[in-house]
Amino acid sequence: MPPTPPELDFLLIGAGISGIGVACHLARGCPDKRFVILEQRERLGGTWDLFRYPGIRCDSDMCSFGYAFHPWPSDAIITGGESIREYLRETAEAYGVDRAIRYGHHVTRASWSSERARWTVRAEVDGPDGRTEHIFRARFLVMCPGYFSYERGFKPDIAGLDDFAGEVLHPQFWPEGFDYAGKRVVVIGSGATAVTIVPALAKGGADVTMLQRSPTYYLSLPDVDRTVALARKVLPSDLVTRTALVRNTLTQLALYKACRRFPRAARAVLLAQVRKRLGGKVDMRHFTPRYDPWDERLCVVPNGDLFEVLRDGRATIVTDEIERVAPDGVLLRSGERLDADVLVTATGLDVRLFGGVHVEVDGEAVDPSERPLYKAAMIDGVPNFATIFGYANSSWTRKVDAVGPYLCRLARHMDRTGAEVAVPEGGARFISDDPFFPLKSGYAKRATALLPKQGERLPWRTTNNAALDYLMLRLGSLRDGHLAFRPARAPRPQPARDQLAA
């Protein structure tokens, strides 16, 4: 068995955009702290390494999806998975955090002991001699495992799906080199993945039908930010990107708030730009949602590519419900039938918190769905612990750039004061009935039972406001009356058996 690494200051779980980002903040902000990232896969990048379906790309602009401390260098702001992967690899190397990643470590259990004021984390490692368990100890645990299962995608209950004679593909497990040219492909779904895959397949020569149960709102954006590209010609590139990061984050928030406040006007504007893009060639009923903008996630369409392939007939769109799948196609409620060689179930992810890790505090299991988050980053009653959960309406990485420096502040404060434990307390008094996640989409509904409780007010309310979180975490007082600092707890004497019985 390999030697157990020395006791760590921080242990991070997951080497995706969150784990790498937090680790870089630690390396920059508290270089004296020892940290390790445990990653179950053999490569870094998480989402951006796992998903390989045609056209895979971000739908946030890379100025705000890139890290503030390592600005995105290119003018292409809506970009493919491969360049995001390369950016993450290069960032990890630049700050030396690549050397802190332990690949092939699947974390199963994390246990906090108040007596030792330490986390004990167990990870399974497969080696030539079979599976072994490795144990790590750390003062702080930072959960960065994303929000979905890496083992399986969400499989909707579609009658007859198992009888389909062709290929059924889930975007999460796209077979490398799959040849779809000339094939009849039905893409089931209307979210960000379907909207990405449909134009990519159509441009690659497939005969594509996008089959949606209900329409979605779309926003067409250019994949290159001309203002940024122009400003970079005269100003330092990093300064321009950082300015664009602030501008884009505030614009996303303003757009979100405007949509929620003035839904009718927002709807009119969003539908008008789609109508213009379609040029009267496709029925607008496929693009006229029954809900208000931002009840569900707004989908970005870079350069209007989806509309282009629908307009010129390389792809078609059908709004209907599936009656059942037949061996050679899909039968719809309307009686229509779609012949298919390939079905793509772009129906979403299997939501999972904490990467399936069993978390316990002094032997008691922590169920995040019973507790509110503190400052949108820590969990009520869980000591020396932080989790990265991004935004519905802003780039995920905005949370990373707020929580990373907060953890450095916290560690320095604890060093100065001699505290061993920082634990948010009293959140139960501030729980509200409001949903934690502000969207009503299928995956948000499926996730509701798993997600933390929503709080009535700050610091227990998760506002989904990236600017507010940034201010609260970067500038807010550490001693706010909700976060308790303590020394390690002295071991409690074990009560005698007869005392217990009494």
Ligand X SMILES: Cc1cc2nc3c(=O)[nH]c(=O)nc-3n(C[C@H](O)[C@H](O)[C@H](O)COP(=O)(O)OP(=O)(O)OC[C@H]3O[C@@H](n4cnc5c(N)ncnc54)[C@H](O)[C@@H]3O)c2cc1C
Residue type, 313: G
Can the peptide bond before residue 459 be classed as cis, meaning omega within 30 degrees of 0? Answer: yes
Q: Based on CB atoms, which residue is closest to ligand X, 59 or 225?
A: 59
Q: Based on CB atoms, which residue is closest to ligand X, 65 or 140?
A: 65
CA–chain centroid gap for 190, Å, is 19
Minimal distance in Å, beta carbon 87 to ligand X? Answer: 12
Minimal distance in Å, beta carbon 84 to ligand X? Answer: 8
- Helical H segments across 279-330, by residue range: 305-311
Among 38, 45, 50, smallest CA distance to 17 is for 45
In contact, 26 and 33? CB cutoff 8 Å: yes
Q: Based on CB atoms, which residue is closest to ligand X, 80 or 356?
A: 356
Bridge-partner residues for 385, per DSSP?
Answer: 141
Cβ atoms < 10 Å from Cβ of 20:
31
Minimal distance in Å, beta carbon 280 to ligand X? Answer: 31
| Residue 358 host element (H or E) | strand 358-361
Q: Based on CB atoms, which residue is closest to ligand X, 46 or 215?
A: 46
Strands 373-374 and 130-143 come out as unpaired
Minimal distance in Å, beta carbon 204 to ligand X? Answer: 18
Minimal distance in Å, beta carbon 188 to ligand X? Answer: 16
- Treating both helix axes as pointing N-terminal to C-terminal, what angle do 237-261 and 263-278 enclose, rounded to 10 degrees? 120
Minimal distance in Å, beta carbon 437 to ligand X? Answer: 13
Minimal distance in Å, beta carbon 388 to ligand X? Answer: 5
**Biggest CA pair distance of the chain:** 83
Minimal distance in Å, beta carbon 181 to ligand X? Answer: 23
Cβ atoms < 10 Å from Cβ of 93:
11
Minimal distance in Å, beta carbon 456 to ligand X? Answer: 27
Q: Based on CB atoms, which residue is closest to ligand X, 107 or 458?
A: 107
In contact, 35 and 100? CB cutoff 8 Å: yes
- Give the residues lining the site for ligand X (CB under 6 A): 13-19, 38-41, 46-47, 51, 58-60, 65, 105-107, 144-146, 150, 193, 355-357, 388, 390, 395-396
In contact, 98 and 92? CB cutoff 8 Å: yes
Task: Measure the CA–CA gap between 267 and 197, rounded to whole angstroms.
Answer: 25
| Residue 105 host element (H or E) | strand 105-113
The DSSP code sequence of 181-214 is TT-EEEEE--SHHHHHHHHHHHHTT-EEEEEESS
What SS3 class is residue 254? helix
Q: Based on CB atoms, which residue is closest to ligand X, 174 or 291?
A: 174
Minimal distance in Å, beta carbon 479 to ligand X? Answer: 29
| 210 token code pair | 């996008």
Q: Based on CB atoms, which residue is closest to ligand X, 79 or 454?
A: 79
Q: Look at the block and give the residue holding tokens 């996730």.
A: 447
- Treating both helix axes as pointing N-terminal to C-terminal, what angle do 466-475 and 237-261 enclose, rounded to 10 degrees? 120
Q: Based on CB atoms, which residue is closest to ligand X, 86 or 328?
A: 86
Q: Based on CB atoms, which residue is closest to ligand X, 38 or 194?
A: 38
Q: Based on CB atoms, which residue is closest to ligand X, 171 or 383?
A: 171
